[in-house]
Amino acid sequence: MYLDRTTLPQFDEWKLTSTTDGGVALIDKSTNWTSFDVVAKLRGLTRIKKVGHAGTLDPLASGLLILCFGKFTKKISEFQNAPKQYEAVIKLEATTKTDDSEAPEENHTSTLSLTNEQITNACHQFIGVIDQIPPMYSAIKKDGQPLYKLARKGIELDLPPRKVTIYSIVITKIELPFIHLTIDCAKGTYIRSLARDIGALLGCGGYLAALRRTAIGDFRVENAVTVQEIMEQVQVLNLH
């Protein structure tokens, strides 16, 4: 059974089924929550010990996070391997050490000479199977240690590029220095790296200013529920 916008009123039934047979929850993660925060909160609300998520979202990102409970944790890899869709906002004219808005801007430039055609052409060069270097501030491990821990110590590594697949990039709005994109991609794609690389190709620098995951496979964020909505439903059930 899936916990989503339509089944939220049957939360107690979903929880019972998930405890015995396993279950899935479609969560609309808010910004400033880590994916682990969401797992920990739902573990507490459901009292189901075995809970895992199918694909990390950075704290500054919002959107669809799929959680698996009990026996359904075996299905996590199926969700992880599904294609993803994101709505991203790239800010040009600067870079940051984290490739997103978590770190201060540096290397300020100008986009006065940039045309919409140049921006479109640059974005389209990243469609297909491409080589992408992951951001240093990521959970990828080097010798057993996450890269972001090394980066916070000031240790920078020359990371090898990885093959990733971007199915489509649609520019929904250009309001310089901001570019709004809808991106469909395969597992393992870093949108922060894409923002950095588009800015580098345009010669003005760029970083990821905002990110929202809108789909994982056939699952859409419009059908997901927030942690707050689940907490409110639990309170309603406890009052009866």
Residue environment code for 102-115, b if the CB has 16+ CB neighbours within 10 A, otherwise e: eeeeeeebebeebe
Domains and CATH numbers, the chain: 2-81+218-239 (3.30.2350.10), 84-216 (3.30.2350.10)
Q: Quick check: 151 pLDDT over 50?
A: no
Higher pLDDT, 46 or 236: 46
pLDDT in tens, 175-213: 999 999 999 999 999 999 999 999 999 999 999 999 999
Give the list of residues 6+ apart from residue 197 with CB closer than 8 angstroms, or none.
126, 132
Cα–Cα distance measured from residue 72 to residue 53, given in angstroms and rounded to the nearest whole number:
11
Q: Quick check: 149 pLDDT over 60?
A: no
Task: Tell me what pLDDT residue 11 has.
Answer: 94
Q: Quick check: 156 pLDDT over 70?
A: no
Catalytically active residues, by annotation: 58
Task: Tell me what pLDDT residue 195 has.
Answer: 97
Q: Quick check: 124 pLDDT over 80?
A: yes
Average pLDDT over residues 89-102: 94
When mean pLDDT is compared across 23-37, 43-57, 131-145, the lowest value belongs to 131-145
Task: Tell me what pLDDT residue 138 has.
Answer: 57
